[in-house]
Amino acid sequence: GQSLEQPSEVTAVEGAIVQINCTYQTSGFYGLSWYQQHDGGAPTFLSYNALDGLEETGRFSSFLSRSDSYGYLLLQELQMKDSASYFCAVSPRTGGFKTIFGAGTRLFVKA
Amino acid sequence: NAGVTQTPKFQVLKTGQSMTLQCAQDMNHEYMSWYRQDPGMGLRLIHYSVGAGITDQGEVPNGYNVSRSTTEDFPLRLLSAAPSQTSVYFCASSYSGPLQGPYNSPLHFGNGTRLTVT
């Protein structure tokens, strides 16, 4: 089977940098994705890592290390609007065409 | 483009009632899926479809049926509602889903249906 572990909550200050970790146990997957969800809203896609290493998209970066079964989302220059839940997700190579999500990390950005 | 449209936005059912949650997308996406979201449990996959006429089970399929007669529509049917099905339901689509393998095909989510079963 597969499971993804994320911290349930993270708090950071406006303007700071925060890292949200995702550790996983899965036999193999295509890539690691990150989604953002504001309260009452729909999840929206942020970033995808097919290969090991860092992917940068503006203030957001995502990292994957398959050898360490680990990835993270890095948010820089935090803004109040970044307060949201963040989910990591994988699509396993076996067991059908599924995208499996972690339980999510709630980010609180303080002034 | 409207993207992914879900109806209704809110619904209250009594135990044992049946209903259909509607999902439509206008992006010509082959892959569609249904998730439920409960507090502290993230998004759990109920059913998915890789194209018209093809559906398969996700992580939590019991109590739900789906069909895919057209590329655009992917309704979710609750056969006999139970309080355990109280949740927020999201429909999501992507150009090809995990069919692309290592190539990214992100999921586009609808705005959700908030279902309460009493």
pLDDT at B102 > cutoff 60:
no
Per-residue confidence at B22, pLDDT binned at 50, 70, 90?
A: very high
- Predicted pLDDT at B103: 67
- Predicted pLDDT at B96: 78
Q: What is the mean pLDDT of chain B?
A: 93
AA letter at A62: S
HSE, side-chain direction, 13 A CA sphere, residue B95? 6
Separation between Cα atoms, residue A92 and residue B41, nearest integer Å: 19
- Report, as an integer, the average pLDDT of B44-63: 95
Separation between Cα atoms, residue A26 and residue A2, nearest integer Å: 4
- The residue of chain B nearest to residue A88, with distances taken between CA atoms, is B42
- Predicted pLDDT at B65: 98
pLDDT above 90 coverage of chain B, percent: 86
- Predicted pLDDT at A92: 85
Structure tokens at B108: 């586009």
- Predicted pLDDT at B107: 94
Q: B113 near B10, Cβ under 8 Å?
A: yes
Separation between Cα atoms, residue B74 and residue A29, nearest integer Å: 26
Q: How many helices (H) and strands (E) does chain B have?
A: 0, 11
Beta strands in chain A (DSSP E): 3-5, 9-13, 18-25, 29-37, 44-49, 53-57, 60-65, 70-75, 84-92, 100-101, 105-110
Put simply, the answer to whether B56 touches A33 (Cβ < 8 Å) is no
A97 touches chain B (CB under 8 A): yes
Note the pLDDT tens digit of each residue in A4-60: 999 999 999 999 999 999 999 876 888 899 999 999 999 999 999 988 999 998 999
Structure tokens at A17: 């940098």
Q: Which residues from A are below 8 Å from B31, CB to CB?
A: 97
pLDDT at B101 > cutoff 70:
no
What does DSSP say about strands B10-13 and B113-117: parallel, antiparallel, or unpaired?
parallel
Structure tokens at A98: 């599924």
Higher pLDDT, B100 or A66: A66
Residue B73: count other Cβ atoms within 10 Å of its Cβ. 15
- Predicted pLDDT at A29: 85
Nearest to A48 among B31, B59, B104 (CB): B104
Cα Rg of chain B (Å, integer): 14
Put simply, the answer to whether A96 touches B56 (Cβ < 8 Å) is yes
Separation between Cα atoms, residue B56 and residue B28, nearest integer Å: 19
Q: Which of A32, A101, A11, A65 is nearest to B109 (CA)?
A: A101
Structure tokens at A19: 């890292």
Separation between Cα atoms, residue B104 and residue B118, nearest integer Å: 40
| Interface list for B 4-63 with A (CB within 8 A) | 31, 33, 35, 40-45, 48, 50, 56-59
A54 touches chain B (CB under 8 A): no
Task: Specify the range with the lowest mean pLDDT, choosing from A85-99, B24-38, B66-80.
Answer: A85-99
